[in-house]
Chain A
């Protein structure tokens, strides 16, 4: 369903592109609506899938308490509706979900999944957004420098740093940084959230940002090199424009398009917390809740966080699609 792509004739493209102002807004709304028509079923399928996978899992949440009296177990299962047919369990879960009720945790009996998410999400999101912001800023800057000085020592240096950021896993860099800055130098706390105090956040953010810088620098460099070869950049040079204008005005927008497509899902990824970083630095984020939930078979927690994540990814991808349109006028409405 391309309104605008090259396949369609010039007539239709001309007709459509004269939409201005309110019409353009309506086109945008249509695009969002169409995307949501795909996104909502996707979220629904993910809810069904994660529900089924977990129901099919061997072993129940109360296995550990094998000593439990069968009668109490039956009561427990009744309390969580585990004795009902599966479709009824699903329907109950789904309708509650629509009201923002993700259910009760199996393990922490006094906490609802929504509570866990509400408490953990701000921690994860803060760390994640700072990390992706630093990663994007640093990565784009390094990537552009490397692309402009292609095959120079600067380029090799930047690419080596980037490769290091990618190849050295966070669970190596994080303990190392904790060891150096926390234990040896005693500059920063190595564990805990401290109510969101800045010193507590520095190490987790740095550990999370390093690989992002590496990945984004590589993507930026690749995108820039691709566009620097484009015919229109050569045209810009042939017009005698200053190199800075050639880069800023004629190269950057197209060169950064791949970064935008990377950033969408990546932002969703970091917001739901880095499982490993939260574990290492003992942060009360939802990544850690997820792993604890998985280990303890606390299914409502696992499902709740998965659904949150999937929804975030879909929203971010929608934003990415919309921003393509801002970056490149040719992309009117791809499918």
Chain B
């Protein structure tokens, strides 16, 4: 199915103890806490979690795109170089060149009053000393790479003249212009129709096959993870609760939350009359996290210790980490 992550490759992205805090009306909120992860060249790394789990904000922090009231701490290394909270000038030299971001909503993420071609060329012109004609050729090349039909015509069009799927392709093409080492995609398929989703995922699969770009796929959709990711991190309430190779996480989940997620995927073989399997309880309130394990109130296996101590993320199987007090599951 998937090749295992090549652990000997040098890491492209390395996050150590990454935390993101927001100053809010009702006090400080810790949206991301103690996140450690490593993404290697050629690897597709999935990050899954529900709304508010901090999965997007963690990577906003990597890009230096947090909202004004957000503060990041810890360490983020891109190709071995510390970039967290780097000055804007340093970040601008990296963003769009060494790492690119694909946003969730292609409808609102392209500047509505600029032509597609102009928006794409400006990235190239900003980062390299090339002429407009050369930029144009590169843009057309990349547009064709993401299989945009009639690329030349699209070049002169405005975003609103394109369908959602086409716009997302433009977003992807734009991110690929400078051949980045790291590509972060935040819910790239969520806002799209199901058929278009498949086409977009196909483009990512192609990227993985033909380039050595490290891809981070942030999503709430386990199907996306299953179809292209090599390794997965599951986030809950700002923390990674499980991390490992995709196969391991899918076939031998180490955290009750992951098991819940997997169970809640409707299957074609399910009895259509049976109730959908959902994780009981409320999503966590970041302002008021339960003491001990944050997942305890919704956990079917909760024990006394779970109310006292936050379980650390430990290696429970080779290269497979979980944060749960339960002993290794049978």
Task: Give chain A nearest CB distance to B63 CB in angstroms.
Answer: 6
Q: Is A17 an interface residue (CB 8 A)?
A: yes
Question: Given that A240-B97, A241-B123, A241-B126 are known contacts, is A232 also in contact with B160, CB under 8 Å in the complex?
Answer: no
Contact assessment for B114 and A239 in the assembled complex, using a CB-CB cutoff below 8 Å? no
Q: Is A99 an interface residue (CB 8 A)?
A: no
Contact assessment for B91 and A240 in the assembled complex, using a CB-CB cutoff below 8 Å? yes
Stretch at the interface among A40-48, A161-169, A182-190, A326-334: A326-334
Question: Given that A17-B161, A240-B97, A330-B158 are known contacts, is A245 also in contact with B122, CB under 8 Å in the complex?
Answer: yes
Main secondary structure of the interface of A (DSSP, over half): helix
Contact assessment for B161 and A14 in the assembled complex, using a CB-CB cutoff below 8 Å? yes
Q: Which residue of A lies closest to B111 (CB)?
A: A232
Q: Is B137 an interface residue (CB 8 A)?
A: no
Task: Determine which of B105, B109, B126, B171 lies in contact with A240 in the assembled complex, contact meaning CB atoms within 8 Å.
Answer: B126
Contact assessment for B103 and A231 in the assembled complex, using a CB-CB cutoff below 8 Å? yes
A259 to B194, CA, bound (A): 41
Task: Give chain B nearest CB distance to A209 CB in angstroms.
Answer: 30
Residue-by-residue, is B72-97 near A (CB-CB < 8 Å gives 1, otherwise 0)?
00000000000000001001111111
A242: chain B residues within 8 A (beta carbon): 92, 126
Task: Give chain A nearest CB distance to B280 CB in angstroms.
Answer: 34
B: contact size bracket: 20 to 34
B113: chain A residues within 8 A (beta carbon): 253-254, 327-330
A183 to B226, CA, bound (A): 82
A233 to B109, CA, bound (A): 8
A13: chain B residues within 8 A (beta carbon): 160-161
Residue-by-residue, is A185-220 near B (CB-CB < 8 Å gives 1, otherwise 0)?
000000000000000000000000000000000000
Task: Determine which of A230, A239, A250 lies in contact with B126 in the assembled complex, contact meaning CB atoms within 8 Å.
Answer: A239
Contact assessment for B122 and A249 in the assembled complex, using a CB-CB cutoff below 8 Å? yes
A191 to B63, CA, bound (A): 60
Q: Is A78 an interface residue (CB 8 A)?
A: no
Q: Which residue of A lies closest to B88 (CB)?
A: A243
A14: chain B residues within 8 A (beta carbon): 161
Contact assessment for A236 and B111 in the assembled complex, using a CB-CB cutoff below 8 Å? yes
Contact assessment for B95 and A238 in the assembled complex, using a CB-CB cutoff below 8 Å? yes
Contact assessment for B108 and A240 in the assembled complex, using a CB-CB cutoff below 8 Å? no
Task: Give chain A nearest CB distance to B168 CB in angstroms.
Answer: 12
A327 to B114, CA, bound (A): 10
B161: chain A residues within 8 A (beta carbon): 13-14, 17
A230 to B113, CA, bound (A): 13
Q: Is A10 an interface residue (CB 8 A)?
A: yes
Q: Is A75 an interface residue (CB 8 A)?
A: no
7 closest residue pairs by CB, A with B: A240-B95, A240-B96, A239-B96, A231-B108, A238-B101, A232-B111, A240-B92
